[in-house]
Amino acid sequence: MIMRDQLYHEPDARELADLDRAARTLDPWTIYRRRTHDEPVTVERLASQVSSLLGAEAAREIFASKVPMWTRRTADRWMYDRLLADPPLLERRLRGYEHLIGTRCWHPVRDPQLVLLPTTTQWLTPAWSSYFGFYGRPDGQGGLAAAIRQWEQRWGAALVASWGTMLQFVVARQPAPGDQAWELAGQLLAVGDNLQVSQSVLAIVVSRSDAWFLHDRP
């Protein structure tokens, strides 16, 4: 693993056993939740946003949908499904976000350190390294370990760098566009609270990328 600073902690055998148990038993998505509120959005405001992003035809679909209550999250999911149904429109929407695919968005750090941890179990990494995202959350360290274990099993994700407020993974498998990609994008946004990208855009990205970048800072 690559780090910028010294190791956060030197765990003992008991701490490692406790973290391993947490990684195997905790549901990380009860610990890591999106910190943004799912605020309501008026049809008029949503239609205006959709028109600028997807065009006038998509905005007309919003008015015709007769959805009783739009929220930021339901609107973002609607836009994602709308993009999947129109591949040329999806490609146009992706312009400007190509840097999120692969390692192009990875943060360059001067004078990094290569650290060989005394374990082959990567979800135990939070025992040695610090990540801002697990502070202020009950079981935040164990929840991160559980998330890493889950991502490894499902997507072949491997943690390769930890910068304190940033995590970098390479992945062997990509989620299918649709529900799989949407769910994974939500998980990444929950652990990387400062990614500054919508779930719909990130869902498009993760279905094409062999690397992830997570960012959570004060």
Q: For 184-206, write each residue's pLDDT tens digit.
A: 999 999 999 999 899 999 999 99
What pLDDT does residue 132 have? 93
Q: Report pLDDT digits (tens) over 14-29.
A: 999 999 999 999 999 9
Give the per-residue pLDDT at 63.
87
> Do residues 149 and 27 lie in contact, with contact meaning Cβ atoms separated by under 8 Å?
no
Its pTM stands at 0.91
pLDDT in tens, 151-174: 999 999 999 998 889 999 999 999
CA distance 44 to 59: 9
Nearest Cα to Cα of residue 61 among 51, 74, 71, 76:
51
pLDDT of residue 111: 76
- Which amino acid would we find at residue 218? P
